Chain A
Amino acid sequence: MPDDRELTGTHASGPLLTDQVPGLAAVDELVVSRQSETLDSDDILAKKPLGLLFWFALGWVSLVVILAILANVLPLPNPNFQNYTALNAAPSIHHLLGTDDLGRDLLSRLIYGARVSLIVGFGSVAMGMLIGGTLGLVSGYKGGRLDVSLNAGAFVLLAFPAIVAVIAIVAFWGQSLLKITIIIGVATIPILYRVVRASSLSFANRDFVVAARTLGATSSRIVFREILPNVVPVAVTFGLITVAGVIVIEGSLAFLGLSVPLPTASWGNMISEGASNGNLQTNPYIMIWPVVAMFLLLLSINLIGDRLRQRFDIREGLL
């Protein structure tokens, strides 16, 4: 295991908040790359060919993404259209997955709902990675006061009870897809910052970086040409895992009515509707479809993330 000192490195000891914190340092260690040295570890840690499960996972995610993108073009009934003649209809030719208690087509709602999950999921992580990741990359390499203060900030943000912030901001700002994405995106910043920083730090003291420095490379060149390519695998893998987490968070918020407002479909509020008003008894399909879809999507994303992690030989990160 990398030495704790490696992670706080040669940086000057800063004020209170960022002294060596073994707990947090160990957390950061979790995603730091570890080289496999022997023949044995290759076999045991299974750099095996991407299995059937992986391709299934990739297939499912691709399917969901494609359907979500093409939603407008597909021959789907309007997801919010309430057809009073077909309330709680069972799956049929007209409604492939049936309808809900307000007569809305479930397949259509499912696909449009996928948009919400995907956009919030990937969008917020993209934002978090752009901001948090960049900060972490630079901070890990540079160190010094910048690093110390950013760490302090990240610690406080992580300690902050996020629900309060989310609810408050949603109440303040309003509920829309974009706003939800941004709010959750901001919440992912400290997490992604920490992970990318740990990775960047682990490379900052390696010989090839020192060599580049002695050759006269500027800091920005070193950061972007030497360190960034090495950090990318960790970032991508962890980013993917974070996407899964965000989808869960958005689902939870939607379940409580705090995400995109009804009648817009999202998997979270579909599940919420499906579980209330006795719908579970009268029409379990309302809840079943989004549960299955979300289950498969989360499973797939986690599987892909895990395979990537094995490929890049990254120590198990926080999921």
Chain B
Amino acid sequence: MVKYLLRRLLQLAVVAFIISVLVFLLVHLLPGDPATIILGPNDSPHNRAVLFKQLGLNKPLIQQYTTWLTSVFHGNLGESYLDHESVTHIISTGWPIDLELIIISQVIAFAVAIPLALVTSRRPNRPVDNVSTTGTFGMLALPPFVIAPIMVAIFAVGLHWFPATGYVPFTQDPATNLHDMILPSLAITAGSIAVYYRLFRSDLISTLQEDFITMARSKGLSSRWIMWRHAFRPSSFSLLAAAGVNIGALIAGTFIVEYLFALDGLGFSLVAAVNQRDYLVVQGITLVIAIAYVVLQFIIDFVFTVVDPRVTRE
């Protein structure tokens, strides 16, 4: 099993590398450049050329890339062309926000979806099931950019229960931090709840019709035992896979929520950097995002080997 995991790790490292190359090419091939952004479009071409050279942008692309890559391995991600903030600093202040958003939203999503699915899969098409199904479809129809303003209007502006913006690091003040993060997390969580609930419920229903469930019944085991000890695990595989894909998409996808709630997360910084052609920031953040995605897939694979005994043994 260790060999298998090491192999996966290597594969995923390659992927991260490829992504870094692609993004590098993408931003460098865009029209416009940092020099123009910094000086403004009306400045003289001469000044622009000077700044261009100063920033090292006149070197061949491959050289720029390798220079960057080497400095990355030395721990230096460079700094923003615009305000000279170190990329490492941008990342280090940004990633806790994203991580927290993802953790909170996914915890809520699983905490709602799993029990609900366990209950409704036993009696499909009864009232509770139908209400849940319609409700979750409703959640799918309310994307973050729709839910967020509505929630802000009701809960922040209207009821003053939660703030519309603002962020305090967790290490500084956990209570306020969590309090402030509730609305943004809820904005994200709806879609996840819907996906997980429907998937898990559907798998549970299928599993409950398998022969081995009838056999378990014939052994005199109680319904609850059967649900938790026989049906849960085989039904969780696709849930796990879906979680991998969903969270993977969220890693970079939180940026709308960050924008709406004025959170200084990686997504928001990334978008701003692309708009400003802040190459080093873009490359640095993308590298981190790619690595995070890759690590996530790795974790999911690992959990799979634990949860499904057939994976490494066959």
Provide a sorted-by-A list of 5 A–B residue pairs whose CB atoms are within 8 angstroms. A160-B290, A163-B267, A168-B30, A291-B146, A302-B137
Determine if B7 and A256 form an interchain contact, defined as CB atoms under 8 angstroms apart.
Answer: no
Determine if B140 and A22 form an interchain contact, defined as CB atoms under 8 angstroms apart.
Answer: no
- Asked whether any CB of chain B lies closer than 8 Å to the CB of A207, the reply is no
Q: How far is the CB of B222 from chain A (nearest CB, A)?
A: 20
- Asked whether any CB of chain A lies closer than 8 Å to the CB of B145, the reply is yes
In the bound complex, residues from chain A placing their C-beta under 8 Å from that of B308 are 22
Scan residues 256-290 of chain A and give those whose CB is less than 8 A from a CB of chain B.
Answer: 256, 268, 271-272, 274-275, 280, 287
Task: Tell whether A318 pairs with B195 under 8 Å between CB atoms, given A46-B124, A171-B275.
Answer: yes
Bound CA–CA A255/B137 (angstroms)? 22
In the bound complex, residues from chain A placing their C-beta under 8 Å from that of B261 are none
- Which chain B residue has the least Cβ–Cβ distance from A26? B241
Determine if B209 and A44 form an interchain contact, defined as CB atoms under 8 angstroms apart.
Answer: yes
Determine if B242 and A252 form an interchain contact, defined as CB atoms under 8 angstroms apart.
Answer: no
Task: Tell whether A164 pairs with B270 under 8 Å between CB atoms, given A40-B209, A268-B145, A303-B137.
Answer: yes
Determine if A271 and B301 form an interchain contact, defined as CB atoms under 8 angstroms apart.
Answer: no
In the bound complex, residues from chain A placing their C-beta under 8 Å from that of B19 are 156, 159-161
- Asked whether any CB of chain A lies closer than 8 Å to the CB of B40, the reply is no
- Asked whether any CB of chain A lies closer than 8 Å to the CB of B166, the reply is no
Scan residues 150-179 of chain A and give those whose CB is less than 8 A from a CB of chain B.
Answer: 155-156, 158-165, 167-168, 171-172
Interface window among A99-107, A130-138, A292-300: A292-300
- Which chain B residue has the least Cβ–Cβ distance from A34? B206
Interface window among A13-21, A70-78, A86-94, A208-216: A13-21
Q: 1/0 per position for A31-61, CB-CB distance to B under 8 A? A: 0001000101100111010000100000000
Q: How far is the CB of B39 from chain A (nearest CB, A)?
A: 19
- Asked whether any CB of chain A lies closer than 8 Å to the CB of B215, the reply is no
Determine if B256 and A161 form an interchain contact, defined as CB atoms under 8 angstroms apart.
Answer: no
Determine if B140 and A302 form an interchain contact, defined as CB atoms under 8 angstroms apart.
Answer: yes
- Asked whether any CB of chain A lies closer than 8 Å to the CB of B69, the reply is no
Scan residues 180-227 of chain A and give those whose CB is less than 8 A from a CB of chain B.
Answer: none
Determine if B145 and A161 form an interchain contact, defined as CB atoms under 8 angstroms apart.
Answer: no
B residues touching A (Cβ–Cβ < 8 Å)? 7-8, 10-11, 14-16, 18-19, 22-23, 26-27, 29-32, 124-125, 134, 137-138, 140-146, 149-150, 153, 157, 194-195, 198-199, 201-203, 205-206, 209, 234, 237-238, 240-242, 244-245, 248, 251-253, 255-256, 259, 267, 270-271, 274-275, 282, 286, 289-290, 293-294, 297, 300-301, 304-305, 308, 310-311, 314
Determine if A159 and B23 form an interchain contact, defined as CB atoms under 8 angstroms apart.
Answer: no
Q: How far is the CB of A237 from chain B (nearest CB, A)?
A: 13
Task: Tell whether A298 pairs with B11 under 8 Å between CB atoms, given A27-B241, A45-B205, A160-B19.
Answer: no
In the bound complex, residues from chain B placing their C-beta under 8 Å from that of A280 are 149, 153, 157
- Asked whether any CB of chain B lies closer than 8 Å to the CB of A229, the reply is no
Bound CA–CA A168/B282 (angstroms)? 11
Determine if A315 and B241 form an interchain contact, defined as CB atoms under 8 angstroms apart.
Answer: no
Q: 1/0 per position for A3-21, CB-CB distance to B under 8 A? A: 1110000000000110101
